[in-house]
């Protein structure tokens, strides 16, 4: 018998109830843990995040480097920590959902993909240096319905998630067995038609703010 490793999010059943929202679990992979979640953000919150981000978009930069890279062809921006009341509310809900204190949260990132833009397969955790306070989990929230394409794809698992406004995909990579972490390799498939907007929350192992 194989022993299942401890996960960060331990929810069973079909929902996660936070202080201000009931989030529905509509799909789950056990190991590595991947959850497909509905009603993470209201449509009004999605629209607000897009509005606030629009004016501040710039071509995506990868990780800590300041080179514009081919790994990601989308545009991005980061909110300031606790930038306004809505951001505070969303950040607290996300932290509760991800079962990690908000102090471990990186600033919320917004990405916009236009037709043909994509995010090539990558790990969200840092594979060199930085492992003292590495990332441990990710929540990718879909801020709009994409006309065609733009799926989040896990190539090692041959598993894809279709963007849906207000929904999200959650995954974690804080396992002892590095092979489980490596299975969280993921990509944003090219957008074929329309735009794709996502907000990404990365959590750190230790305090970050």
Ligand X SMILES: O=C(O)CCC(=O)C(=O)O
Q: Please give the Cα distance from 83 to 80 (Å, whole number).
A: 5
Torsion angles phi and psi, residue 132, rounded to 5: -65, -45
Q: Please give the Cα distance from 47 to 13 (Å, whole number).
A: 29
Q: Report the nearest approach of Fe ion to the CB of residue 31 (Å).
A: 19
Q: Are 138 and 208 in contact (CB under 8 A)?
A: no
The residue number with the shortest CB distance to Fe ion is 124
Q: Report the nearest approach of ligand X to the CB of residue 155 (Å).
A: 12
User: Among Fe ion, ligand X, none, what does residue 93 contact (CB within 5–8 Å per kind)?
Assistant: none
Q: Is 117 in the site for ligand X (CB under 6 A)?
A: no
- Helices of type H across 105-172: none
Binding mask 145-174 for ligand X (x = CB under 6 A): -------x----------------------
Q: Please give the Cα distance from 195 to 28 (Å, whole number).
A: 26
User: Among ligand X, Fe ion, none, what does residue 36 contact (CB within 5–8 Å per kind)?
Assistant: none
Report 124-163 residues binding Fe ion (CB under 5 A): 124
Q: Please give the Cα distance from 40 to 26 (Å, whole number).
A: 12
Nearest residue (CB) to ligand X, 37 versus 140: 140
Nearest residue (CB) to Fe ion, 60 versus 102: 60
Q: Please give the Cα distance from 202 to 193 (Å, whole number).
A: 27
| One of 42, 86, 89, 200 touching ligand X (CB under 6 A) | 200
Nearest residue (CB) to ligand X, 15 versus 185: 185
Q: Is 140 in the site for ligand X (CB under 6 A)?
A: yes
Q: Please give the Cα distance from 196 to 141 (Å, whole number).
A: 11
Nearest to 146 by CA among 77, 197, 186, 111: 197
With CB under 5 A, what is the number of residues at the site for Fe ion?
Answer: 1
Q: Is 124 in the site for ligand X (CB under 6 A)?
A: yes
Q: Report the nearest approach of Fe ion to the CB of residue 97 (Å).
A: 18
Neighbours of 127 (CB within 10 A): 11
Q: Please give the Cα distance from 154 to 116 (Å, whole number).
A: 19
Residues binding Fe ion (CB under 5 A) = 124
Residues binding ligand X (CB under 6 A) = 111, 119, 124, 140, 152, 186, 188, 198, 200
């Amino acid at each position: 018998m194989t022993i299942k490793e401890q996960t960060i999010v331990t929810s069973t059943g079909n929902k996660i109830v936070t202080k201000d929202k009931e989030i529905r679990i509509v799909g789950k992979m056990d190991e590595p843990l991947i959850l497909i979640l509905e009603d993470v953000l209201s449509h009004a919150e999605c629209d607000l995040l897009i509005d606030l981000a629009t004016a501040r978009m710039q071509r995506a930069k990868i990780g800590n480097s300041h080179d514009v890279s081919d790994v990601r062809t989308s545009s991005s921006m980061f909110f300031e920590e606790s930038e306004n009341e809505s951001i505070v509310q969303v950040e607290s809900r996300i932290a509760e959902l991800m079962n990690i204190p908000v102090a471990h949260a990186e600033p919320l990132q917004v990405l916009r993909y236009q037709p043909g833009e994509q995010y090539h397969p990558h790990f969200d955790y840092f594979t060199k240096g930085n492992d003292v306070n590495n990332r441990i989990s990710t929540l990718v929230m879909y801020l709009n319905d994409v006309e065609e394409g733009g799926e989040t794809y896990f190539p090692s698992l041959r598993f894809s998630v279709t963007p849906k406004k207000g929904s999200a995909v959650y995954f974690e990579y804080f396992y002892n067995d590095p092979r489980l972490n490596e299975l969280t390799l993921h990509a944003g498939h090219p957008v074929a038609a329309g735009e794709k907007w996502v907000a990404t929350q990365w959590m750190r192992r230790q305090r970050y703010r």
